[in-house]
Amino acid sequence: MKIFTLISLWLGAASILSAGAPTQPTLTRYSKLWINSVFTTKPDPVTIEAQNPLEDYALGGISKLEDGYYAILLNKKKPEDKVVIYPGQKNEFEVLDVKWPSGSWRDAVVTVRSGSTTGTVEFDDKLLTVKPTQVATPKGPSKSAPKPTVNGAKPTSSSSNRTPRPRVVVPKK
């Protein structure tokens, strides 16, 4: 045990004596950071892929005419906005091809061109659902409607025009 202690002391002393004095770092040590700082360097240009404008549209209807196809495109974000494509008319969109894989109208796939972008548009079941309309209710009171009561009192007969008195409960002594 004493031998190991002596050897470790000799090695420690040898390493201390062989080590030189610390030196001050040069000013050019961090010169790369002066030029390429995170705060002053412009980021690399990011290439942004052009968005396909057809991704925002779903097929609302398609019909074959003599000189081409009549199509309705629905905007998925704003379903009330519609684009109608007539054959032979200049429009932002143009129908290139229509395929019915199974013969059903729901499976129709329409190839559409918008400028230099070409893509396919299909029916979207979420946009095709018919929203129920609200039935208008008459604004005047109906004769079959029950009369309103005040504080739980019984309704009065239709012949009297007086309003019922509120019910008062007298506490027991």
pLDDT in tens, 18-55: 877 888 888 888 887 777 777 777 777 877 766 677 88
Kindly give the pairing relationship between strand 57-65 and strand 68-75.
Answer: antiparallel
Q: What is the DSSP letter of 79?
A: T
Alpha helices in 67-146 (DSSP H): 125-128
The answer as to whether 82 is a domain residue is yes
Average pLDDT over residues 98-107: 81
The answer as to whether 43 is a domain residue is no
Q: How far, in Å, are 63, 64, 117, 128, 129 from residue 125 at the CA level?
A: 18, 21, 25, 5, 6
Residue whose token pair is 């040898």: 14
Q: How far, in Å, are 14, 147, 155 from residue 75 at the CA level?
A: 81, 49, 54
The answer as to whether 37 is a domain residue is no
pLDDT band at 8; cut points 50, 70, 90? confident
The answer as to whether 140 is a domain residue is no
The answer as to whether 99 is a domain residue is yes
| Residues spanned by the domain of 81 | 53-128
The answer as to whether 114 is a domain residue is yes
* pLDDT higher than 60, residue 153: no
Q: What is the pLDDT of residue 12?
A: 82
How many domains does the chain divide into?
Answer: 1
The answer as to whether 17 is a domain residue is no
